[in-house]
Amino acid sequence: MTDSWRDHVRKMYASAIGRHRRELITPALILDLDVARRNLEFMTKRLSTMKAKLRPHVKCQKSVELARLQVEAGAIGVCTATVWEAIVMRRAGIQDVLIANQVGGREKIAALAHAARQGGLTVAVDHPANAEELSKATQAAGSKLDVLIEVDVGMGRGGVRSVEAALTLAHRLAELPGLRFRGVQGYEGHCMLEPDHALRIQKANAAMEYLGTVIDRLAAAGFRCEVVSGGGTGTYDITGNNSRVTELQAGSYIFMDNFHGGLVPGFSRSLTVLGTVIIQHGNTIVLDAGRKSVGIDFVLPSMVAYPFYQARYFAEEHALFDVDERCSLKLGDTAELTPGYCPSTVNLHDAYHVVEKDTVVDIWPIVPRGPGHGGILNDL
Amino acid sequence: MTDSWRDHVRKMYASAIGRHRRELITPALILDLDVARRNLEFMTKRLSTMKAKLRPHVKCQKSVELARLQVEAGAIGVCTATVWEAIVMRRAGIQDVLIANQVGGREKIAALAHAARQGGLTVAVDHPANAEELSKATQAAGSKLDVLIEVDVGMGRGGVRSVEAALTLAHRLAELPGLRFRGVQGYEGHCMLEPDHALRIQKANAAMEYLGTVIDRLAAAGFRCEVVSGGGTGTYDITGNNSRVTELQAGSYIFMDNFHGGLVPGFSRSLTVLGTVIIQHGNTIVLDAGRKSVGIDFVLPSMVAYPFYQARYFAEEHALFDVDERCSLKLGDTAELTPGYCPSTVNLHDAYHVVEKDTVVDIWPIVPRGPGHGGILNDL
């Protein structure tokens, strides 16, 4: 289904190709490929001095085209948040895919075990009961699945809560057919929200130091960690320099947004949402791009051309700004918004309007969009 | 495209039909039709004592099946936030559709004017320049379009900002070919967020009193308001009793959610999102239903079975709760969440799993999903 859906999306938005980025039907999601390429290059350059390799998180972009660009730029594969994202990426030819999350529920586990027949899939586990379900499913599907033990390094979400629990799980994994232990994942997500850079370094280092202890204890028990996966865009320059970490799960670096832009320098905004001024009274202007087209998580979006205005609010279909004489926008004009948060923005749209030199050159479908399986299950 | 897309969505999720509501692939959007029907009946009963008729806002539900149920229950038509929603509703046979919002941008205005050839469409205007664009487009399409003057009644978003501006716009509309003035819209959106009921009554009445002044001044100038449209679920029992208001734009009443549930009594929650416990450590459980599947606007979602727990947070793919001995959920169990806000929840999903007596009886596509035109434009 995903291939026919991809074709369908391309056709739906094909009339945008060849247009200037300011002349699109709004709200429109725009990917400036020139800027995204510069972000790729900057990340490649930065990582060249670090030991860790990049495994970009595709929950941010949900695009096989972007994933391929990331792999061409040196990424060792990708990571995903869901089994459906992982299946889409494997089918698109990405050779090494990590589901950096627990997979639960009978059918999602079965889909994962089925997809594992083609190899190239790793999943995070943090509980013996979940590992047992995965093992049973691989037996039924006749497949083998690589696993990382997720270790809670302070975020308090996924991950075993102690060294002892990590050891218990490693021993259990060794007993379970169909599963192969490859290492650990420790995601220091609690550090991403720390705006103070010195404090972020301190927190991220503490998280990785604890992960190092777990790795040592696992090694002492005979479980060597070939893979140590962690990090995000907000900590890539800290965690990427940690001597234990082998791969970084940064994803937002390719787009940047108002949230991440405040955390790490050197990247530019490649993702925007174009809106049209549909309301104008006095100093108030309203664009037709609200919470149903642009992610406002953590930080509000802003206008690219007028970054100094703080939005009054984002309604479902409205972005409201109180402006002054510095703003020349008139009713019917279009303006680009920088999202507050890119992953939730992308998730709302059918496709990227891919722009080079300010002109739309391609339509890249966003797949899998939405929380459902979107028909992927029916194709297995 | 919308019809073939609807068929496609039905096929994608067809395997859910016949299952118990707790046995779905998660995250899954569930519409309890038994509860929704009770909400419809309760609203019909409440409105039977009021002068205003119901024009439910379909931005909340994006479903032609639900719109038809609402019209069967006595609604005079529907209102929408976008031109694409309006086109979908007209095509589905809803006879009277109001776009309760400004439509801007060349192609969206052209699409509106084209769709107006079939009649049954009204749009809000609040600016002479926008009215002129609409007039030109109807001329080009050979159509006529009904319009309401939107009056800002205190929200500060859409709407003319003064009685004089309303009069100026009414005079301009009378000169413009293709447009027919039918009345006014005054949306007291600023009152919906007022939790104190007495204060909400006071604010909503003040808003409608001002709208009454505008109506009187328009009438004195020869512009009779056949339609006076306003209200939402949070104010329906106030605005619906206002003697000037002819129609109410409430929409969320059919679902209710944690936001609206705190505002108006008598309705029950018909919309939920099913999640699976994918992580469990000590007292912490994590469901696989985060911000990419359930709207957290204004108020956080809660578990239907354990409404007394406040979520610690919602990540993109995770709902995290700290529970105690009252909670019997185990790894792999499913649990339903009541959304914080329904309109943003629905917008994330492909389809409703429609449930009667706890069993899925149908799949209802969510159309148009997403901020793009989704191919609707290509069919015009």
- Does A316 contact B344 at a Cβ distance shorter than 8 Å? yes
Give the burial string for B131-155 (b: 16+ CB within 10 Å, else e): bbbbbbbbeebebebbbbbbbbbbb
Percent residues over pLDDT 70 in chain A: 99
**Rounded Cα–Cα distance for residues A349 and B370 (Å):** 6
Percent residues over pLDDT 70 in chain B: 99
Report the pLDDT averaged over residues B205-216.
Answer: 97
Q: What is the pLDDT of residue B301?
A: 97
A339: preceding bond cis by omega (within 30 degrees) = no
Sign of the alpha-carbon torsion through B78, B83, B84, B90 = positive
- The reply to whether A125 touches chain B by the CB within 8 Å rule is no
The CATH architecture one would assign to domain B34-255 is Alpha-Beta Barrel (3.20)
With both helix axes pointing from N to C terminus, report the angle between A64-72 and A83-91 in degrees, rounded to the nearest 10.
Answer: 70
Q: What is the pLDDT of residue A1?
A: 52
Closest partner residue to A28 (CB to CB) among B29, B372, B375 is B372
At B350, is the pLDDT very low, low, confident or very high (cuts 50, 70, 90)? very high
Q: Which of A87, A102, A149, A333 should we substitute to test contact with B (largest number of B Cβ atoms within 10 Å)?
A: A102
Mind telling me how many Å the CA of A48 is from chain B's nearest CA?
Answer: 30
Q: What does DSSP assign to residue A119?
A: S
- The residue ranges of chain A whose pLDDT is under 50 are none
- Does B59 contact A317 at a Cβ distance shorter than 8 Å? yes
Complex ipTM, two decimals? 0.97
Q: Which of B58, B87, B249, B292 should we substitute to test contact with A (largest number of A Cβ atoms within 10 Å)?
A: B292
Report the pLDDT averaged over residues B57-69.
Answer: 98
Q: What is the pLDDT of residue B355?
A: 98
- Does A288 contact B152 at a Cβ distance shorter than 8 Å? no
- The reply to whether A96 touches chain B by the CB within 8 Å rule is no
Nearest to A98 by CA among A107, A89, A111: A89
Query: Does residue B139 surpass a pLDDT of 70?
Result: yes
Cα dihedral A249, A250, A255, A257 in deg (nearest 10): 120
- The reply to whether A101 touches chain B by the CB within 8 Å rule is yes
Please state whether the predicted TM-score (pTM) of the whole model is above 0.90: yes
- The reply to whether A323 touches chain B by the CB within 8 Å rule is no
Determine the Cα angle at B288 with ends B285 and B291, to 5°: 110
**Rounded Cα–Cα distance for residues B145 and A209 (Å):** 67
Query: Which residues on adjacent β-strands are paired with residue A28?
Result: A274
- Does B284 contact A8 at a Cβ distance shorter than 8 Å? no
Q: Which of residues 56-75 of B touch A (CB under 8 A)?
A: 59
> What rounded mean pLDDT belongs to chain B?
96
Domain spans, chain B = 2-31+266-365, 34-255
Helical (H) or strand (E) element with A29:
strand A28-32
Question: Quick check: A142 and A117 in contact, CB under 8 A?
Answer: yes
Each residue of B215-247: pLDDT tens digit?
999 999 999 999 999 999 999 999 999 999 999
Three-class secondary structure of residue B147 per DSSP: strand
- Does A349 contact B372 at a Cβ distance shorter than 8 Å? yes
Q: What is the pLDDT of residue A374?
A: 86
Query: Which residues on adjacent β-strands are paired with residue A92?
Result: none
What sections of chain B are H helices per DSSP? 2-12, 33-47, 64-72, 83-91, 106-115, 128-141, 163-175, 189-192, 197-220, 236-239, 258-261, 342-346
Q: Which of A350, A377, A380 should we substitute to test contact with B (largest number of B Cβ atoms within 10 Å)?
A: A350
Each residue of B247-299: pLDDT tens digit?
999 999 999 999 998 889 999 999 999 999 999 999 999 999 999 999 999 89
**Rounded Cα–Cα distance for residues A176 and A169 (Å):** 10
- The reply to whether B20 touches chain A by the CB within 8 Å rule is no
Q: Regarding the domain delimited by A34-254, which CATH topology (the fold level of the hierarchy) does it fall under?
A: TIM Barrel (3.20.20)
Q: What CATH number has the domain spanning A2-31+266-365?
A: 2.40.37.20
Mind telling me how many Å the CA of B210 is from chain A's nearest CA?
Answer: 18
Each residue of B309-323: pLDDT tens digit?
999 999 999 999 999
Q: For residue B259, which amino acid is it?
A: F
What sections of B323-369 are H helices per DSSP? 342-346
Q: What is the pLDDT of residue A2?
A: 66
Nearest to A73 by CA among A50, A97, A55: A55
Q: From B333, which residue of chain A is nearest by alpha-carbon distance?
A: A105
Each residue of B359-380: pLDDT tens digit?
999 999 999 988 889 888 887 7
| Chain B residues inside the 8 Å CB shell of A279 | 102, 126-127, 157-158
Query: Which residues on adjacent β-strands are paired with residue B247?
Result: B53, B229
Q: What is the pLDDT of residue A179?
A: 98
Q: What is the pLDDT of residue A292?
A: 97
Query: Does residue B1 surpass a pLDDT of 60?
Result: no
At B2, is the pLDDT very low, low, confident or very high (cuts 50, 70, 90)? low
At residue B234, φ and ψ (nearest 5 deg) are: -70, -15
Closest partner residue to B279 (CB to CB) among A102, A347, A348 is A102
